[in-house]
Amino acid sequence: MKKDKEEKDRPRAKGVTRRGFLQLMGAGAAVSVTAGASAAQPQREMITPGEMSKVTLQINGRRHRLLIEPRWSLLYVIRERLGLTGTKVGCERGECGACTVLINGQPRYACLILAVEAEGTEITTLEGLMHGEDLGPVQQAFLENDAFQCGYCTPGQIMAAEGLLRSNPDPSFEEIWRGMSGNLCRCGTYPNIFRAVHRAAELKRVKGGV
């Protein structure tokens, strides 16, 4: 007991204790890491909310000059700014295919493309497949084969089929299955959809690829 009291009463040596040393080292390391991270990241240009950009979009053979926000998706511009509501809003994260359009003839999800990125391309929506009041071959084939139930996914299915047939005019059923795999139908009408795509290929050949 006497020894413990002597140790307690003994004045501490001046300087940094072991605990203090470790605390100082930890604080110094944190400052060093923070400073290094700040130095490694360049200053990014900030876009203020509401800032508008001029774009020209070529959609269904027509040129549209628009003022848009750089953050707007092509899906939003097509539907909300141009009123082409055949392109549907689905998951908005590139999983369902309801918003499928053609970009330079290739099926693409409009929800994953910024409108400013689409400038200089040829965009085709569901409305662009019609000939006046007449349905296009793919639309007609979907109608003949009852390739829909609720119909919500149908525009995206038709656009995916159109893109497939432009690249492969005479696909096998396996090629149709693979080509349409990016479009989901919650009603489960896949057998009719595949038959409709096969029928659309026949109709396109009869009409000379229209």
Please report, in tens digits, the pLDDT of each residue of the chain (210 residues total): 555 555 555 555 455 565 554 555 555 544 444 444 445 555 655 656 668 999 999 999 999 999 999 999 999 999 999 999 999 999 999 999 999 999 999 999 999 999 999 999 999 999 999 999 999 999 999 999 999 999 999 999 999 999 999 999 999 999 999 999 999 999 999 999 999 999 999 999 987 654
Q: Report how far residue 23's alpha carbon sits from residue 40's, in angstroms, rounded to the nearest whole number.
A: 26
End-to-end CA distance of the chain: 103
pTM equals: 0.75
Q: What would you measure as the largest C-alpha separation in the chain, in angstroms?
A: 110
Q: Report how far residue 9's alpha carbon sits from residue 207's, in angstroms, rounded to the nearest whole number.
A: 105
Enumerate domains of the chain plus CATH numbers. Answer: 50-128 (3.10.20.30), 130-210 (1.10.150.120)
Work out the number of other CB atoms within 10 angstroms of the CB of residue 195.
19
Distances (CA, A) of 179 to 66, 83, 159: 33, 28, 11
Single-letter code of the amino acid located at 197: V
- 50: left (phi > 0), else alpha (psi -120 to 50), else beta? left
Instruction: Evaluate the CA torsion angle 25, 26, 31, 33 in order and state its sign.
Output: positive
